Amino acid sequence: MPDWKKLVQRRMTAPKLGDGLKEEVTAELAAHMEEIYEEARAKGLRPKAAMRVALQEVESWSDLSRDIGITRSTEDAMTHRTKTLWLPLIAILFVIGLALVLLDRAPALQQLIWTACMALLFCAAASEANNLNERTKRLWLPGFASMTAAGLFFLAASIVSDPSRFTSEIGLRPQSLRVESGPGRTFYISWVAAHILFGAVGAYMSRRAGGTRTARILAGMFPALAMFFICGIVIPISAFAGHNLFVERHPTTLLLGMMIWAGIPGIALLAGAAPFLNQTRPEHRAVVAG
């Protein structure tokens, strides 16, 4: 059996295509040639003759490369909505958010702005799904969906659980939340419980895009991985670099924080992702059968 991918790769010279698109186009054309070859073989043709039949499908590879380069080029491929809506909104929010950070003002508003930025970025990426490479579709986009959902939920729950604190600009940073208190505990339990759903969202989207089991796990657990990075790396480094006396005296609080904000939500995310980790994709079969 000829290596159709290599054969197409060698012949396709579409400079306008990015690596991700080129890989996808190559895979698609190679699959088509493979089926023509197999069909010819099934009709009783010898391998060489079957190969000739498949190769006859393309008279000029340079013409095909040019045509595909024009139609699938990422240049000017950004959708109208992304250009006119999502990107300007993100830019405006980013400038406002950055200004608030630099001025060290309104932390609650900052949280609102960064969450909105994250949601808008997801909307922009989702509307550009056709232009994204496979890894982005199978890992980053689902992971980002899971994280955006977690961010939005955290924001909503923060406002609902303590609106006065939110409006008085005290801020809602994770470390300021007292888990042992009554409202804090309710908040935390509902937040962790919701992570089952977020994990399911990430893993489902990854599976739908054809992601491997590893990609589905990573996509589902994305929010916990992000929190692990913050709680396990960023905060300890900044605390020790800044000689935070409390952390230096009680280093175990870092471990506790990591467990509360990354470990337990991570388990919930994994539980949500679990039903989507099997390799079969029943929804695909249903479509094909239909």
Partner 1 sequence: MTKRIRSKIARGSADLAILSLLEEQPLYGFEIARQISERTGGALKFTLASLYPLLYEMEKRGWVQARWQANAAGRDRRYYRLTATGRRQLAPLRQEWRSFFQALDDLSGVSHA
Amino acid at 43: K
Binding flags for partner 1, 108-147, as an x/- string (CB under 8 A): ----------------------x---x-------------
Q: Does 248 bind partner 1 (CB under 8 A)?
A: no
Q: Hey, which residues between 197 and 216 contact partner 1 (CB under 8 A)? A: 208-210
- Residue from 3, 47, 49, 71 touching partner 1 (CB under 8 A): that is 71
- Residue from 5, 11, 32, 135 touching partner 1 (CB under 8 A): that is 32
- Residue from 77, 85, 106, 271 touching partner 1 (CB under 8 A): that is 77
Q: Which residue stretch of 26-34, 115-123, 198-206, 253-261 sits at the interface with partner 1 (rule: CB under 8 A)?
A: 26-34
Measured CA to CA in angstroms, residue 288 lies from 95, 278, 281, 282, 285 at distances of 47, 19, 11, 10, 5
Tell me the closest approach of the beta carbon of residue 108 to partner 1, in angstroms. Answer: 40
Q: Which residue stretch of 22-30, 150-158, 171-179, 247-255 sits at the interface with partner 1 (rule: CB under 8 A)?
A: 22-30
- Residue from 6, 31, 49, 160 touching partner 1 (CB under 8 A): that is 31
- Kindly report the three-state secondary structure assignment for every residue of the chain: CCCHHHHHHHHCCCCCCCHHHHHHHHHHHHHHHHHHHHHHHHCCCCHHHHHHHHHCCCCCHHHHHHHHHHHHCCCCCCCHHHHHHHHHHHHHHHHHHHHHHHHCCCHHHHHHHHHHHHHHHHHHHHHCHHHCCHHHHHHHHHHHHHHHHHHHHHHHHHHHHCHHHHHCCCCCCHHHCCCCCHHHHHHHHHHHHHHHHHHHHHHHHHHHCCCCHHHHHHHHCHHHHHHHHHHHHHHHHHHHHCCCHHHHHCCHHHHHHHHHHHHHHHHHHHHHHHHHCCCCCHHHHHHHHC
Q: Which residue stretch of 24-32, 118-126, 153-161, 224-232 sits at the interface with partner 1 (rule: CB under 8 A)?
A: 24-32
Q: Hey, which residues between 33 and 52 contact partner 1 (CB under 8 A)? A: 33, 35-36
Tell me the closest approach of the beta carbon of residue 141 to partner 1, in angstroms. Answer: 13
Q: Does 287 bind partner 1 (CB under 8 A)?
A: yes
Which lies closer to partner 1 via its Cβ, residue 12 or residue 218?
12
Which lies closer to partner 1 via its Cβ, residue 40 or residue 221?
40
Tell me the closest approach of the beta carbon of residue 212 to partner 1, in angstroms. Answer: 12
The tokens describing 82, both together, are 């992304």
Which lies closer to partner 1 via its Cβ, residue 31 or residue 170?
31
Cα(244)–Cα(126) distance, integer angstroms: 41
B/e letters for 212-235, b = 16+ CB within 10 Å, e = fewer, are: eeebbbbbbbbbbbbbbeebbeeb
Which lies closer to partner 1 via its Cβ, residue 74 or residue 244?
74
Q: Does 1 bind partner 1 (CB under 8 A)?
A: no
Site size with partner 1, rule: CB under 8 A: 35
Tell me the closest approach of the beta carbon of residue 77 to partner 1, in angstroms. Answer: 7
The footprint of partner 1 (CB under 8 A) covers: 24-25, 27-29, 31-33, 35-36, 56-60, 63-64, 67-68, 70-72, 77, 130, 134, 208-210, 281, 284-285, 287-290
